[in-house]
Amino acid sequence: MKMLVVRGLCKEYRRGGGTFYAVRDAAMSVGDGDFVCISGQSGGGKSTLLNMIAGLLEPTSGSITSGGRELAGMNDYELSLYRNERIGYIPQGQSILPNLSVIDNVLLPFYLYKKTGDPTGRAMTLLDRVGIAHLAEAYPAHLSGGELKRTAIARSLINSPKMLLADEPTVDLDPRNAEEVMKIFSDISRDSAAVILVTHEANSARWVARRFSMESGILKETT
């Protein structure tokens, strides 16, 4: 069974008296351990597509099936549970809560829905994996851009997701930090989690196994 199957996906908006397609008839399938990059210029529909896959945005038409279940059949609670249990999501921009320490930011998704066990050990393991275990008790105001991004990555992995979605995760990072972040994603895909990366940066795309381009809402797989 494929981790993700997208068929005929469209998202349209009314603008200036006409119809504007942010995503037009997109199709793709992603398996366990796939490392997929969707590249293209800003405004091409990449983030819209990722938000629909995450269940944050409802398609105008088409279907998204994850783990054998179609997202269109889920209610709000089921979609929230899907995001919490099956996917890790790293949104574009800054998403770390300033009033929580690094480790509490990482732990937050674990406590959104009732689960068993003590996640603190896993959180520390993840922080060590992304190279910031020494900052566990620090607050976001004292972190660099690269450290904040690493915190977001660790947080996205706390519930052992089957699929990781990352929207422009290396934007505004210096080349060294960008390379280190991409290596983390590569390692995650080797652990059998599917990774879908959205970026407009050409250097990031060289890490991935499968490449797609997206322009004017049209998604195409490239070689």
Q: How far is CA 84 from the centre of its chain?
A: 12
pLDDT tens sequence across 96-126:
999 999 999 999 999 998 788 889 999 999 9
Identify which of 71, 41, 30 has the alpha carbon closest to the alpha carbon of residue 210. 30
Report helix, strand or coil for 88: strand
In this prediction the pTM is 0.92
Residue-level pLDDT at 205: 67
Residue-level pLDDT at 208: 86
Do 154 and 123 contact (CB within 8 A), yes or no?
A: yes
Q: Which of 42-46, 65-69, 84-88, 197-201 has the lowest mean pLDDT?
A: 197-201
| Domains in the chain: boundaries | 4-222
User: Is 90 exceeded by the pLDDT of residue 55?
Assistant: yes
Q: Which of 37-51, 75-89, 204-218 has the lowest mean pLDDT?
A: 204-218
Cα separations (Å) of 88 from 178, 190, 214? Answer: 19, 16, 22
pLDDT range class, residue 17, cuts 50, 70, 90: confident
Helices (H) and strands (E) in the chain, counts: 7, 10
CATH topology of domain 4-222: Rossmann fold (3.40.50)
